[in-house]
Amino acid sequence: MKKNIHPDYHDITLVMTDGTKIQTRSTLGKKGDVVRLDIDPLAHPAWTGVQRLLDTGGQLAKFRKRFGGFTS
């Protein structure tokens, strides 16, 4: 392997949406960093079977304002 071209692989802590902490190794950030997840297997519809709408940047609010009068 070539020297000095690979990223640093170190320990970090992942915090799940329910507060559970998991120690893992990653190239993300620096040693000892804490990564808080917004979406994980506890909250993602692919695993839970329940769909929740996340409004990021007001996109959902804009959609509802524009098309709120339509009903099925």
Task: Indicate the pTM of the whole model.
Answer: 0.53
- Mind listing the pLDDT tens digit of every residue in the chain (72 residues)? 788 888 889 999 999 888 899 999 999 889 999 999 887 777 766 666 666 666 666 777 788 788 877 765
pLDDT of residue 65: 81
Angle at 56 between CA 24 and CA 46, to 5 degrees: 55
pLDDT of residue 11: 95
pLDDT of residue 50: 66
pLDDT of residue 34: 95
Q: Would you list the domain boundaries of the chain? A: 10-67
